[in-house]
């Protein structure tokens, strides 16, 4: 199997193209300033993953800004910190402030020359539109949790995407799903028969960060950045 075998790259956005861990960490600082003692970054991100996963399972139709606000409330309760309602809403509205990984725009611009690019994301349309401006590329299709009414790793999200791509004449074998989260993306991608590329953004860090562990997940390709993936494609073409 080669990178050049595919027609379409479908992407997770947050954690893969957008540096959501840095965004989460920056947005949660007002809460952490009230926590005694203040927990480490690793502890906070692991707690975020736990609460976000549970909230997505409990309220699959909740818009992502509201869901993030509820995750912030959960974090506050866990840390014994009482925050005003405005602080919860501010955290929920923080997605547009989350930065892109530095290599994402250029890598996407290169890959756009060779593939159709599609987003399958666990956020709302407005938040994704703000992040898309940071990425600077026109995606050929964008499917969000707001469109679907559930959150990955629910297989309904992947089936929704596959059904819509099928309407455009794109078959599963022509798709390479590209994502950081093994739990949210690679496990369900395999369940619906998609090949996948792991963007291992945390390769120099311990633990699972803001994603739920899935140590047994399978994938066909592994890259440590989007730039590495773009370089690998260049090498495949040259060969």
Catalytic one among 12, 19, 154, 185?
12
Contact 48, 23 (CB under 8 A): no
Contact 25, 41 (CB under 8 A): yes
To the query of whether residue 185 is one of the catalytic residues in this protein, the response is: no
- Using alpha carbons only, what angle is made at residue 157 by residues 156 and 161, rounded to the nearest 5 degrees? 110
Q: For residues 15-47, b (16+ Cβ closer than 10 Å) or e, as one string?
A: bbbbbbbebbbebbeebbeebeeebebeebbbb
Q: Tell me the DSSP string of 49-99.
A: HHHHHHHHHH-TTS-HHHHHHHHHHHHHHHHT----HHHHHHHHT-GGGSP
Give the residue numbers marked as catalytic.
Answer: 12
């Amino acid at each position: 199997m080669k990178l050049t075998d595919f027609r379409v790259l479908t992407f997770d956005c947050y954690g893969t193209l957008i540096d959501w861990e840095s965004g989460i960490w920056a947005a949660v600082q007002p809460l952490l300033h009230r926590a005694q003692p203040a927990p480490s970054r690793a502890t906070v991100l692991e707690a975020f993953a736990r609460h976000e996963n549970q909230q997505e399972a409990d309220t699959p139709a909740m818009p992502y800004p509201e869901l993030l606000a509820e995750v912030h409330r959960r974090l506050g309760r866990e840390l014994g910190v009482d925050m005003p309602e405005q602080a919860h809403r501010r955290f929920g509205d923080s997605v547009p402030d989350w930065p892109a990984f530095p290599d994402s725009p250029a890598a996407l611009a290169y890959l756009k020359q060779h593939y159709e690019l599609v987003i399958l994301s666990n956020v709302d349309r407005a938040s994704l539109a703000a992040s898309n401006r940071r990425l600077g590329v026109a995606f050929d299709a964008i499917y969000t949790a707001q469109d679907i009414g559930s959150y990955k790793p629910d297989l309904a999200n992947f089936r929704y995407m596959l059904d819509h791509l099928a309407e455009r004449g794109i078959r599963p074998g022509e798709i390479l799903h590209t994502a950081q989260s093994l739990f949210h993306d690679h496990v369900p991608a395999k369940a619906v028969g998609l090949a996948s590329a792991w963007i291992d953004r945390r390769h120099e860090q311990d633990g699972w960060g803001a994603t739920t562990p899935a140590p047994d997940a399978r994938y066909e390709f592994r890259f440590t950045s989007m730039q590495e993936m773009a370089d690998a494609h260049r090498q495949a073409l040259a060969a």
